[in-house]
Amino acid sequence: MLDKKVVFMGTPEFSVPILKTIVRSSYKVSCVYTQTPKKSNRGQKLNISPIHKCAESLKLIVRNPINLNSEEEFKFIKKLNPDIVVVVAYGQIIPKQFLNLSKEGFINIHASLLPKWRGAAPIQRSIMNSDIETGISIMRIVESLDAGPIMKKIKIKIYESSTAEEISENLSKISSESIIEILDDIFNRKIKFVEQNHKLATYAKKIKKNEGEINWKENAKKILAKINGLNPNPGAWFMYKNVRHKIWRAKIVEKNGQPGKIVDNKLTIACGNKSLEVIEIQKEGKNKLPLKSFLMGTDIKQDDELK
């Protein structure tokens, strides 16, 4: 496939292994699109995306328009005349008029088993929903969000202890291991695109920071799903003496009590049903710590009540 030209669109770390695999193959990456640099927390520095850093290290052409929907970008991609455009968590909607600029269209690797969890936060939503499996779907991009026909799905299990970060790394690895076979099959006409059942579609809305607040009246399974689904960002948290505490890891234990109450000296917190024993925690402004280290420096104690 030495003569096949690829345009790659991606932004987060999830996309990096896939781009590297394509570059190492016989396919030619003509250009990489990514999101514009974002200001750091203090606003003093612009941070380029993981894909931007990767592309620069690989000496690839990088484009990062604020808005993809412009005459300039339309003409640029048209002039590239790509054989295929691979999109992996790019972060912008591909304008309708762009979709015919590539001979084989725009192919998207989406981190869910479509039509379930279309949209911005499929991994987080699947964990928070206590799904038992997730995966990747490789589809052709159409005008509607994540609604295109699918050529392939690869499934993985979600365990009770699985975090969003772990699932993301796993799906990224699977995608990178599969991308060349996917491209080969497309160009060799060995695949068939199958329409989604749109009636079964669910949507993974973007995560809001305030979703991280823990309601101890909910059952332990639901709270643990929130902790795991929001790990590492934005994190699930509770307040103690007006200070935010983020729980990184926990496990369900067979204890009961008034929701939000510390039921033992191991920072086991009663929920609406059963309890959660904290494994790793972080006090606001401090480093995250294993429970044993945290308990040595905290005044949270048995019978305290959390908000």
> DSSP code of 300?
-
Specify the pLDDT at position 307: 76
Q: What is the DSSP string of 149-198?
A: -EEEEEEEE--TT--HHHHHHHHHHHHHHHHHHHHHHHHTT----B---G
Compute the distance between CA of residue 125 and CA of residue 279 in angstroms, rounded to an integer.
23
Specify the pLDDT at position 45: 78
Q: Hey, which bits of 18-82 come out as E strands? A: 28-33, 38-39, 46-47, 62-63
Share of residues in the chain with pLDDT > 70 (%): 98
Compute the distance between CA of residue 239 and CA of residue 271 in angstroms, rounded to an integer.
15
Cis peptide before 115 (omega within 30 of 0): yes
Checking if the pLDDT of 1 tops 70, the result is no
Query: pTM of this prediction?
Result: 0.95
Residues 136-193: tens digit of each pLDDT = 999 999 999 999 999 999 999 999 999 999 999 999 999 999 999 999 999 999 999 9
**Which run of H or of E encompasses 242?**
none
Checking if the pLDDT of 283 tops 70, the result is yes
Cis peptide before 259 (omega within 30 of 0): no
Compute the distance between CA of residue 105 and CA of residue 101 in angstroms, rounded to an integer.
7
Q: Which domains does the chain have, with CATH numbers?
A: 5-204 (3.40.50.170), 210-296 (3.10.25.10)
What phi, psi does 244 have (nearest 5°)?
A: -80, 135
Specify the pLDDT at position 39: 77
The CA-atom distances, in angstroms, between 274 and each of 35, 145, 174, 254, 269 are 43, 39, 35, 5, 9
Specify the pLDDT at position 46: 83
pLDDT band at 3 (very low <50, low <70, confident <90, very high): confident
Q: What share of the chain is helix, strand, coil (3-state, %, to 5)?
A: 30, 25, 45
Specify the pLDDT at position 41: 66
CB 89 within 8 A of CB 187: no
Checking if the pLDDT of 40 tops 90, the result is no
In whole numbers, what is the pLDDT of the chain averaged over residues? 96
Nearest by Cα to 82 from 109, 48, 106: 106
CB 40 within 8 A of CB 47: yes
Residues 69-126: tens digit of each pLDDT = 999 999 999 999 999 999 999 999 999 999 999 999 999 999 999 999 999 999 999 9
Q: What is the token pair recorded at 194?
A: 């199958």
